[in-house]
Amino acid sequence: MRARCQRPTPGDAPRECRTIRQIAAFPYRTEATSPDGVIRVLLVTSRASGRWVIPKGNIGGGARPHEAAAQEAEEEAGVLGAICPTPLGSFRYRKKRGSGASLMVDVDVFPLAVTQELQSWKEQPERQRRWFTLSEAAAAVDEPDLRDLIRSFSPAEFRAAARRGAGIPEKSKVAPMFAWFQRLLPRTGNFFEMFEAHARTVTAGAEAMARLMAADGTARAEHITEVIEREHDADEITRDVLQTVRKTFLTPFDRGAITSLVGAMDDTIDEMQAAAAAIDLYQVSDFAPEMRDMTAIIVDAARLTAEAMPLLRNVAQNGARLHELTERLVRMEGQADDIHAAGLRRTLADHGSSDTLRFVVEREIYKHLERIVDAFEDVANEIDGIVIDHA
């Protein structure tokens, strides 16, 4: 809700004023091999004070909020990527105006999965940019709300899980590594490690999808290949889970819950592979804004899924946070439905009567993107079921 105040003017009745609203991008990248965590955030310096901030600004020119945030990230920090239309959260700060007034500003923050760093950008002479770990970034910013938002982006459990090393293979053919690793683990099964490895594989596939949507020329084929390879990696992990369920006497959850959860996660990357295959088959090279928006939602949904998996190690303790994550996944699926409908209306209006083949092809791509997001909602439902049974 927007904060309101009454500012009396001499000789006039009090009039309503509204808190100033801005948008910001939260540029992040994953570094699976980093010793201090898998996620880093990009901060820039403020032009006025030199303090560290995230790229932010006002909404102008009729742009949608997340599009405006992406534009600020490009101009202030020189980064491009997939920006999720669903805000991560918001923070509040006071902005000094030319009049000397210090007014409250509410900032909606949109997560931006960075796919490209520009060598030169608009505000490069006026700002510095630097990648921080989440803890370093939280310590570097001044705004308490922003500090809390950064700290909540990836909990300690996820960073610790990444350090344990059950990570994504850098190429396909993951089975030998997993077979060796599994023999070292107790008979109760290494389900949590496999859940986390699968989730990070899904995240890698989603990021490859985002790069595919932004690529051109030969790079497009490389990103399609990566999506397919990641899907193969996920299949190997899924098979390991199903085999381990059959061999293990004691399991952390009901066997049906384990197989349903890994199956739902596997559906997400199966649909990514289907989308990439359709793009390859029809040689699609021009993607509508709605397609990119849905892909950005997919990237953030994958991130939330990867965050949720380590929390399953202690459902009783982490039940509240798991519920927050699944609730956000469900909200994102609802927003993706709206974007999907808008995209279909756009392509029907643009090509329905003049280029029927293009309309059919774009409808096919939208269908696959919608199925990916739907699969993430299924993952949320499976996690909720585990929380209900064990929290």
Per-residue pLDDT of 183-204, as tens digits, reads 444 445 689 999 999 999 999 9
**pLDDT, tens digit, 9 for 90 and up, residues 138-166:** 999 998 889 988 988 865 534 444 344 44
Whether residue 90 contacts residue 4, with contact meaning beta carbons closer than 8 Å, is answered with no
- What was the pLDDT predicted at 384? 96
Q: What is the mean pLDDT of residues 121-140?
A: 94
Comparing 253 with 184, which gets the higher pLDDT? 253
CATH 3.90.79.10 maps onto the chain at 20-183
pLDDT at position 328 over 90: yes
Tell me the pTM. 0.77
Q: What is the mean pLDDT of residues 114-128?
A: 94
Dihedral angle over CA of 174, 41, 64, 322, nearest 10: 60
Q: 20-183 falls under which CATH superfamily?
A: Nucleoside Triphosphate Pyrophosphohydrolase (3.90.79.10)
pLDDT at position 349 over 80: yes
Q: Integer distance in angstroms from the first to the last C-alpha of the chain? A: 32
pLDDT at position 103 over 80: no
Whether residue 306 contacts residue 199, with contact meaning beta carbons closer than 8 Å, is answered with yes
CATH 1.20.58.220 maps onto the chain at 190-389
- What was the pLDDT predicted at 154? 66
* Mean pLDDT over the full length of the chain: 84
* Alpha-carbon span 68 to 61, nearest angstrom: 9
The topology (CATH level 3) of 190-389 is: Methane Monooxygenase Hydroxylase; Chain G, domain 1 (1.20.58)
* Alpha-carbon span 194 to 89, nearest angstrom: 30
Comparing 16 with 309, which gets the higher pLDDT? 309
pLDDT at position 50 over 70: yes
